Amino acid sequence: MADPVNQITVTAQNQATDWIRAGQDKRMSIFITGDLSGTITLQAKKPEHTEADNPTFITDVEEHTTNVLRNTDQVVGTFDFRLICKTGDYTSGTAFIEINVK
């Protein structure tokens, strides 16, 4: 079975990948490239929570303002992750963002 891949092109604020699940001992790769003037944030939440439940269940893990290609440390537990250009974090340009679970 192929590993999950989640990618989009960001051209405005409030654009995000779908949530992607990373289980125990999995790693993620994060890829951000383009000429975006703005910030892309990696967010995490427990799978049992939704944004509709309460957006405070979502945690900002790290922020990126430059092109990135990196693998994360192993995940401890099971979490859902996404990449997002949040409200107020977009100025101009375009970014291709991708998050993979390995």
- Pairwise pLDDT comparison (77 vs 94), residue with the higher score: 94
pLDDT tens-place string over residues 24-80: 778 889 999 999 999 999 999 988 877 666 667 899 999 999 999 998 877 778 889
Question: How far, rounded to the nearest angstrom, does the alpha carbon of residue 61 sit from its chain's CA centroid?
Answer: 9
Beta-bridge mates of residue 33: 96
pTM of the model: 0.88
| CATH number of the domain to which 43 belongs | 2.60.120.260
Range 60-81 burial, b when 16+ CB lie within 10 A, else e:
eeeebeeebeeebeebeeebbb
H or E stretch covering 47:
none
Q: How many domains does the chain have?
A: 1
Distance (Å, rounded) from C-alpha 87 to C-alpha 37?
14
Domain that holds residue 41: 5-101
